[in-house]
A and B are shown apart, each in its own frame.
Chain A
């Protein structure tokens, strides 16, 4: 594997309106390999969003440094190249929808990159198909439902063909079917080699990643595979987090001296262990 992101000693403080500042990141070291699927969980205000906004230079370190594909984010000359490599999808799609029809919105990124019209057409069509919005291509975005607008935001990012996409709670506004569709899309993109960073409050979603980071008060407090991280139910709860339902049920059964194998993350795995 090849290092894609390298963060050393990252600290970040937000300035407050009335003067003073709030420390949001307090010394983060993190390496993300190319092609990894990383989930970040943590309570509100733990620093998840602040951390990922450093990955494409939306925020710059107060101290420490961030390198993306060997490029330092603190060098303004690198920002264009970094943002071509790292795309972002936010919780509220309305923050990133710009055009008056669905397909024009998706074309916005490729057009800005001055691609030839054929290539733009191709990318827009592919992105539409990937997120399942082809039949809505000529609609104005405000005519789409909240879930559909999120799929549109993802399509817009996909069309710029980044090496890495950061999803900041992309599914928290979506219904279950669209959530599955978004997660399946994320998994497929990862299988095709894209590096994925997924912030989520739904622990079931984090089990889909290869690696889970837990953040608390501006620090990374846990870093490991989902089955290892979710073994620590008590600690996760003390940080304001939940367990996936299957992990929680298995945990309660173990407390009653049921002997169950470790690493049961899904209901299917738990049912198999019980039968």
Chain B
């Protein structure tokens, strides 16, 4: 499965005074089984881009191809291509509509024409993936807490077991442990199935833990696309795109400016600790050697 975004442009309400260019000549490719992060400030075009990949919008120009099929077209092939992509929306309320959690999660599998037993199995599996208690199955999704509703929305996409799973800010509103567990499970599922994972997120920590490649969007254009470690440690690039720099990188940079011999491309706190301890040991050894020389 190959996703090709070709010269994609999107203008909201074209030809009116409110016209706004959301995407401008975006081209990129995502290969089968890749884990890709998309970052960018508010209004940079992230959500518009992933909605195009899911075939939910019609391009103003250009196209998105999935294995050569333009996903926005009104053909049987395009419809089949769209079915291979699952997109969980930024706001779960935007996608939830059923009366019970079970019916909500079962909606996708039912539309896929699965039988009753298969549907029930998918629902159970998906709820387990997002760690929702099976007793919730009979509750109305609208009576759940924000975090629980988000889990239901995710489960309903996972239940379709899409070949391309796109998560738009999937963990906003989840607590830190819930965030980490959920993404660890999604990542494990991705590794096991070889699905393609596209993660839109502002959370640099979770990007560093989950994706191998990061695409930075700014004002509707791709301004960087590379390995996670390289992109997320580029303070100048991130700042120019209106984004945060991982705290670990900021710390290591400050130490480096103060003369420490540390690498600055360590994104996670535990990596920063190793780097600091290592650099300090090296520093102490050098200092010790120097003192020995002086003593001689």
Contacts and interface: CB of A to CB of B under 8 A. Distances in A.
Instruction: Check if A and B associate.
Output: yes
Interface in A152-197: 169, 172-179
B254 A201 contact: no
B250 A267 contact: yes
Interface centre among B13, B42, B147, B246 (most CB of A within 10 A): B42
B146 interface: yes
Contacts of B148: 44-45
B276 to A, nearest CB: 7
A1 interface: no
B145 A45 contact: yes
A145 interface: yes
B242 A173 contact: no
Interface stretch (A56-64, A77-85, A248-256): A248-256
A122 interface: no
A70 to B, nearest CB: 31
A148 B205 CA distance: 24
A18 interface: yes
B140 A17 contact: yes
Contact of A94 (B93, B143, B169, B270): B93
A42 interface: yes
B242 A175 contact: yes
Nearest to A173: B172
Interface in B192-220: 202, 205
B247 A246 contact: yes
Interface residues of B, number: 49
B182 to A, nearest CB: 11
A91 B150 CA distance: 12
B93 to A, nearest CB: 7
A268 B248 CA distance: 11
A169 B179 CA distance: 15
Contacts of B74: none
Contact of B177 (A92, A240, A248, A271): A240
Contacts of B47: 146
Given A172-B172, A249-B276, A44 B18 contact: no
Contact of B270 (A140, A146, A148, A252): A252
Residue among B12, B175, B255 with the highest chain A CB neighbour number at 10 A: B175
A241 B273 contact: no
25 contacts: A44-B173, A91-B146, A94-B91, A139-B18, A146-B47, A146-B91, A148-B42, A173-B91, A173-B172, A175-B202, A176-B242, A176-B243, A177-B243, A201-B179, A240-B176, A240-B178, A244-B247, A245-B248, A249-B248, A249-B269, A252-B269, A253-B276, A267-B247, A271-B255, A274-B255
Interface of A: 16-18, 42-45, 49, 91-92, 94, 139-140, 143, 145-148, 169, 172-179, 201, 203-204, 237, 240-242, 244-246, 248-249, 252-253, 256, 267-268, 270-271, 274-275
